[in-house]
């Protein structure tokens, strides 16, 4: 998908064809010039859906040409195309109400879900006053059920908060509702799926009120303008400062008389640093809390016991790819106040901190590069792994980091490229990026190591060009996986034309 230049990822289909909550998978063969030479449905993901429209759309896609060792090659992969039914409207003749600022109310509610969905409501009145709250009544249905079993509201700063916008911003928001023909929308767009959040948008003025409920509404004929309005209400009201933290959060808290030396402030800083909140709180928010007086020397309850808050935040910054927060805490002396064992553990669990500068600073401060991770505590971790293996995990702490320079830095610092984790795998297993593969091979990564199930990196890989390079680097083309399948069989199943050509050229059956 990184090679994609253009092509529709979402298409309208007749109502009878049915929407797709998940995309329709299409296997595309991409010619050396980047055009789609062939497209066919992937039967493994159709679930009874008609792929005809998706296949036709996929044939119109364009890609940057794929190459192998400088030469254009044919490539194959799977793309997904979502189905949307045509936009459904209500009364096309409905008139937008006159604006009475005394009675004007614009309200947005976002509910709980099966997961960490932000659960809050925000209201803007005719004077520009903003009321944000996580303490309102539950939306009925699935949201109520999820609230019963999940006490986390998914909001960084829960409770009630107030703000204000000027008349110009309010009038611009009203204009967006008018342009969207809000009163001509249907009152309800609900998809036949479960465990998702409910969004509810309401506009009241001059004795008239219209409410639109959005439950995965785009797959139920909801016009895209509803999502745009929901996001615009959030933007104008500035809900990000309470939901996930922003550059305005500390100023807003200061206006409320918040005590930045309190236990609550410590808990907020800890949550912003280590918990998986969506969207992710920026480093700047925690740094602003520190500069506002956060008591870094005060003990804080962590999984390993009571430690100073500054130590907890530094450990969290290393493990969660927060280089700016790390630099702030290191600049305040916290890097020299943590034991070598704790630094080494953070180095391993955090993939070296996910940037070369953090990795080098940790080793310079005493972290042992070959420290291994302890027993895995959740599905995103792996036991007995080095920082290099952790850094390359697709859902690990470094998933959003630039990994090439980090890989070079970790190897230069002394991390063994062939170290084996508890699954018997090295850093080479699971690498699907050609650039990263080249860096690992250049550092001496072995292609013949078998994991606990008997697979080599070539047998475990899912990408044509990766297996092709591993073969050129010495991987055994006669290997079989744990189920007895040959590399040729796997290449056919996974759509690897380059590997099949290689095997043909080398007379490997």
The mean pLDDT of the chain is: 91
Lowest mean pLDDT among 47-61, 150-164, 329-343: 150-164
Exposure on the CB side of residue 80, measured as CA atoms within 13 A: 10
**Phi and psi dihedrals of 124, rounded to 5?**
-115, 125
Name the percent of the chain lying above pLDDT 90: 75
pLDDT in tens, 233-257: 999 999 999 999 998 999 999 999 9
Q: How crowded is residue 269: how many other Cβ atoms within 10 Å of its Cβ?
A: 28
pLDDT in tens, 358-378: 999 999 999 999 999 998 766
pTM: 0.86
Contact yes or no for 206/97 (Cβ under 8 A): yes
Rounded Cα–Cα distance for residues 77 and 26 (Å): 8
Q: 219 pLDDT band (50/70/90 cuts)?
A: confident
CATH of the domain spanning 105-243, picked from 3.30.1560, 3.90.1720, 3.90.380, 3.30.70: 3.30.1560
Rounded Cα–Cα distance for residues 181 and 15 (Å): 23
**13 vs 59, which has greater pLDDT?**
59
Q: Is the pLDDT of residue 166 over 70?
A: yes
Nearest to 141 by CA among 214, 86, 66, 206: 214
**258 vs 280, which has greater pLDDT?**
258
CATH, domain range 339-446 = 1.25.40.20
Question: In 249-282, where does DSSP find H-type helix?
Answer: 249-255, 263-274
SS3 245: coil
Question: Tokens 């967006």 sit at which residue?
Answer: 176
Nearest to 132 by CA among 238, 250, 11, 208: 238
CATH, domain range 4-84 = 3.30.2420
- DSSP annotation of 183: G
Domains 339-446 and 451-509 share a fold: yes
Q: Is the pLDDT of residue 138 over 60?
A: no
CATH, domain range 451-509 = 1.25.40
Nearest to 337 by CA among 354, 316, 360, 314: 314
**Residue spans per domain, the chain:** 4-84, 105-243, 244-317, 339-446, 451-509
| Encoded tokens for 162 | 């107030």
**333 vs 303, which has greater pLDDT?**
333
């Amino acid at each position: 998908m990184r090679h994609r230049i253009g092509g529709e990822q979402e298409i309208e289909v007749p109502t009878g064809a049915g929407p797709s909550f998940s995309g329709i998978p299409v296997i595309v063969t991409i010619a050396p010039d980047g055009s789609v030479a062939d497209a066919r449905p992937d039967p493994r993901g159709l679930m009874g859906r008609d792929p005809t429209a998706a296949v036709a759309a996929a044939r119109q896609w364009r890609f940057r040409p794929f190459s192998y060792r400088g030469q254009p090659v044919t490539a194959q992969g799977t793309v997904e195309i979502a189905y949307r039914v045509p936009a459904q409207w209500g009364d096309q003749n409905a008139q937008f109400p006159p604006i009475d600022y005394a009675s004007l109310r614009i309200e947005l509610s976002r509910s709980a879900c099966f997961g960490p969905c932000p659960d809050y409501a925000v209201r803007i009145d005719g004077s520009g006053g903003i009321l944000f709250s996580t303490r309102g009544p539950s939306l009925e249905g699935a949201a109520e059920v999820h609230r019963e079993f999940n006490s986390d509201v998914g909001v960084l700063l829960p409770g009630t908060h107030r703000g204000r916008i000027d008349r110009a911003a309010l009038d611009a928001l009203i204009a967006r509702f008018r342009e969207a023909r809000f009163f001509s929308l249907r009152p309800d767009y609900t998809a036949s799926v479960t465990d998702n959040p409910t969004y509810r948008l309401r506009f009241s003025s001059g004795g008239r009120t219209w409410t639109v409920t959005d439950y995965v509404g785009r797959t139920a004929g909801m016009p895209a303008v509803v999502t745009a309005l929901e996001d615009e209400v959030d933007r104008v009201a500035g809900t990000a400062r309470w939901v996930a933290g922003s550059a305005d959060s500390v100023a807003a808290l200061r206006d409320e008389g918040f005590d930045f030396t309190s236990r609550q402030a410590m808990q907020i800083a800890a949550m912003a640093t280590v918990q998986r909140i969506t969207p992710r709180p920026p480093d700047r928010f925690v740094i602003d809390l520190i500069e506002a007086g956060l008591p870094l020397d005060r003990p804080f309850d962590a999984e390993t016991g009571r430690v100073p808050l500054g130590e907890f935040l530094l450990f969290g910054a290393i493990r969660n790819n927060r280089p700016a927060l790390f630099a702030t805490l290191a600049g305040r002396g916290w890097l020299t106040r943590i034991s070598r064992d704790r630094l080494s553990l953070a180095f391993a669990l955090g993939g070296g901190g996910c940037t070369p500068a953090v990795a080098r600073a940790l080793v310079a401060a005493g972290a042992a590069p070959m420290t291994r991770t302890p027993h895995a505590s959740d599905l995103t971790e792996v036991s007995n792994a080095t920082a290099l293996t952790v850094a390359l995990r697709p859902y690990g702490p470094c998933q959003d980091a630039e990994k090439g320079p980090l890989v070079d830095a970790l190897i230069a610092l002394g991390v063994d490229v062939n170290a084996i984790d508890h699954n018997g795998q090295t850093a080479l297993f699971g690498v699907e990026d050609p650039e990263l593969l080249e860096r690992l091979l250049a550092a001496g990564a072995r292609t013949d190591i078998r994991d606990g199930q008997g697979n080599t990196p070539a047998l475990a890989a899912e990408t044509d060009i990766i297996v092709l390079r591993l073969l050129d680097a010495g991987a055994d083309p006669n290997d079989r996986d744990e189920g007895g399948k040959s590399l040729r069989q796997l290449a056919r199943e996974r759509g690897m034309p380059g590997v099949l050509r290689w095997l043909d050229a080398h007379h490997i059956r």
